[in-house]
A and B are shown apart, each in its own frame.
Chain A
Amino acid sequence: MGKLLLATIAVILAPVIGGLVAGLDRKCTAWLQSRVGPPILQPFYDVFKLLGKSPMMMNPWQILTVWVYLVSSMLTVFLFFLGSDLLLMFFVLTIGAVFFVMGALSTQSPYAQVGAQRELVTMLTYEPLIILVFVSIAMVTGSFKVSEVFTYGKPLLYQLPLMFVVLGYALTIKLRKSPFDISACHHAHQEIVRGVLTEYSGPQLALIEIAHWYDVVFVLGLCALFWATSFWGCAILLVVTYFAELVIDNVTARMTYKWMLKTVWGWGLALSVLNLLWLYAG
């Protein structure tokens, strides 16, 4: 019962936290570029404005896909705080991502089509890595359940430091940060406009933004698993990780999808194998 309550509260609070993180993100980015930057609450203004715009969709599919994406993102956060199975969360996350791409594919716009193809490649890149991370967590703790990872006595970071780097790759891709923002870049006006997001507008775009906030919370939750034993350790880990993401976002330019596939799979697999070997030897 307590867990159910916690999970419900988490689902209600997650967009607030995700929005604040997005606001801090933009503020820090501006700071790194020696600008003043928008107010911290800017993402909320944006979303409320989008909610108030007149709906304009290409086909009814788009409404369905957006809602499925949002609900699946909410469900991952819910399952995470319920202490449920990591693999289950992975499948729910994937369903959301697939529907999101389907919405873009259902339109005629070449920009959305290109963006959708790239988003599919992106998913192909990060999903095996996330699975590897989950499997290695299960190898250490003996269970895929989040609740049991939290009761495991030591921080996982000691035993899986390289897996955390691998998760960092997946995080950068999932949060659509450079150099991996090839499917929906904020700054690629000339090339693919907004990629997968091109054909979504108004309220639908707002829902996608909210779903993205849920994703941010979920992914940060995954990072938190690596230092679940102490509150401060966990907080420091999250802040340092997110700040590192921001710096990487700001100092790198966008790359091609082939480069992404090669680098991320190459490094991700190498690091995973090293870490697992070390785990066995040690």
Chain B
Amino acid sequence: MLKDWINKGRLKSPWIVHFDCGSCNGCDIEVLACLTPIYDVERFGIINIGDPKHADVLLVTGTVNHRNKHVLKNIYDQMPSPKAVIAMGACGLSGGVFREAYNVVGGVDKVIPVDVYVRGCPPKPEAIIDGVVHALGKVKAALEAAG
């Protein structure tokens, strides 16, 4: 019974830590827009928490480069499992317009495993919320597979 409740909690309270790998701020503004009264993601129990140790979902925006990939990896490692990663925006997916630059690694998935990709430059808040819902769908599927 306790396990049922824990699983229910996992689906109902994804706490997000938002890491900006040097984005142009376009994606970050859209993430913050999700918290405003119009979208109000707290309805779904989503909180933008500042601490990787409390977070369940890592939301990465911007281009990963050779300097900040260590930071990204570090933040990912600090999150207790189960955890999910969402890569956001063209930059997060592949490096976007900056992908040819000499210091750019490419997408977030070159450094840490990514569960959900949210497209756009920048993505709409609806798309971001959709991304979190997708991540939760994956968590749910994993939970069901585990029994």
B9 & A46 in contact (Cβ 8 Å cutoff): yes
A36 & B9 in contact (Cβ 8 Å cutoff): no
B48 & A49 in contact (Cβ 8 Å cutoff): no
For window 27-70 of chain B, which residues contact chain A by CB distance below 8 Å?
Answer: 37, 40, 42-45, 48-51, 53-54, 56
Minimum CB–CB distance from B126 to chain A (whole Å) comes to: 16
A194 & B80 in contact (Cβ 8 Å cutoff): no
Given the interface contacts A47-B9, A53-B82, does A30 sit within 8 Å of B45 by beta carbon? no
Q: CB < 8 Å: which of A189, A199, A202 contacts B80?
A: A202
Q: Which residues of chain B come closer than 8 Å to A50, judged between CB atoms?
A: 9
- Residue tally, chain A, CB below 8 Å to B: 35
What string of 1s and 0s marks CB contacts (under 8 Å) between A173-211 and chain B?
A: 000000000000000111001100111111001000000
Which residue of B has the minimal Cβ distance to A36? B43
Q: Which residues of chain B come closer than 8 Å to A44, judged between CB atoms?
A: 5, 9
> Does B13 lie at the interface of the complex (its beta carbon under 8 Å from any beta carbon of A)?
yes
A37 & B9 in contact (Cβ 8 Å cutoff): no
- Residue tally, chain B, CB below 8 Å to A: 27
A-B interface contact total, Cβ < 8 Å: 87
Residues on A lying within 8 angstroms of B by beta carbon are 26, 30, 33-39, 42, 44-56, 188-190, 193-194, 197-202, 205
What are 15 sample pairs from A and B whose C-beta atoms fall under 8 A apart? A35-B43, A42-B13, A45-B9, A45-B12, A45-B13, A48-B2, A48-B6, A49-B6, A50-B9, A51-B6, A51-B9, A53-B56, A56-B53, A197-B54, A201-B54
* Given pairs A37-B40, A52-B7, 20 additional interface contacts (CB within 8 A): A30-B40, A35-B37, A35-B40, A35-B43, A38-B42, A38-B43, A45-B12, A48-B8, A49-B9, A49-B10, A49-B12, A49-B13, A51-B2, A53-B56, A194-B51, A194-B54, A197-B54, A198-B51, A200-B53, A201-B80
